[in-house]
Amino acid sequence: MIDRLHKLSNYKVMHSLARYARIWLAQIRYSTVREMMFKSNFILWIVVELCWFAVLLSFIQFLYLQVKTVAGWSKWEMVLLVGTNQLVQQTFQTFLMINLTKLPELIRTGRLDFFLAQPAPTQFLVSTRNFEPGSVVNALMGMIVCLVAFAHLGLRLSVAGLFLFPALVALGVLIHYSLMLMVMSLGFWMTRASGFINAYYSLFQIARLPREAFFGFVLFAFTWIVPLLLIANVPARTLLYGLNLRDLAEMSLATGLLLTVSTLVFQAGLRRYGSASS
């Protein structure tokens, strides 16, 4: 009897996951078709983002003409770190950030009511409704830069690196998601929470810096309070030096805690919101 209940429970979980996957894929198809209606804007956005990334790589090249290492990181190790950050950031922007930035406006105008009326969790719908196909190209460029840096370093990809790197990148995306969800959920209490978007844009650039460049309280703050130094550093260090259980534990714990707290903040905001349609 217990075995049957266990199988039934597993079936319900898998059925729910498959249902959410179908909803998400449908939303991705809709967003892609809509974006392709404005091809010039689509191409221009890709070019602008790639230009900014090229400027950053050029700055690294110039910097390492003056010094041999920065916080113990050589040039190609730094390129790997920056490429990893680009991959994480653009993946986050592709699937999640484009949606979270619209949350304060949905709250302010009352259009959040539309999501509350849907037969699916509101947080899931708010987080996944739109898709940014242009950022896929920029994420792939980050991956290419990682591969080029990896080749220049003469490293051999271990089994741990092969499987852990994508998983750690996913954890980095979830850290970005949790932090942004908490910031945008301030819209339930503030009328202009969207103003925090630019502040977050500036803050998450810290993720592309070596962790070894920080000390004391600043290191603690950006590791545990706002764990931006885990986002790209841990995946890049895993490729460079192999599996580090402490790094893996820190990133997994930070991701789990942030996801829990951000969900609680969002749900508290929903209870405060109720309905704003008029």
DSSP string, 39-68: HHHHHHHHHHHHHHHHHHHHHHHHHHHH-S
- Where are the domains positioned within the chain? 1-38, 66-273
Positive or negative CA dihedral for 97, 101, 102, 106?
positive
- What is the percent of the chain with per-residue pLDDT over 90, rounded to a whole number? 49
Structure tokens at 201: 């844009």
According to DSSP, residue 70 is labeled B
Q: List 70's β-bridge partners, or say none.
A: 73
Residue given tokens 């259980």 in the structure block: 245
- The per-residue pLDDT for 117 is 85
DSSP E strands, 5-113: none
DSSP E strands, the chain: none
∠ Cα 221 271 194 (to 5°): 50
Measured between alpha carbons, how far is 254 from 234 in angstroms, rounded to an integer? 12
Measured between alpha carbons, how far is 25 from 37 in angstroms, rounded to an integer? 19
Quickly state the pLDDT bin for 8 (edges 50, 70, 90): very low
| Amino acid code (one letter) for 74 | S
Residue given tokens 């910031």 in the structure block: 183
- Does the pLDDT at position 278 exceed 60? no
- Does the pLDDT at position 6 exceed 70? no
pTM over 0.85: yes
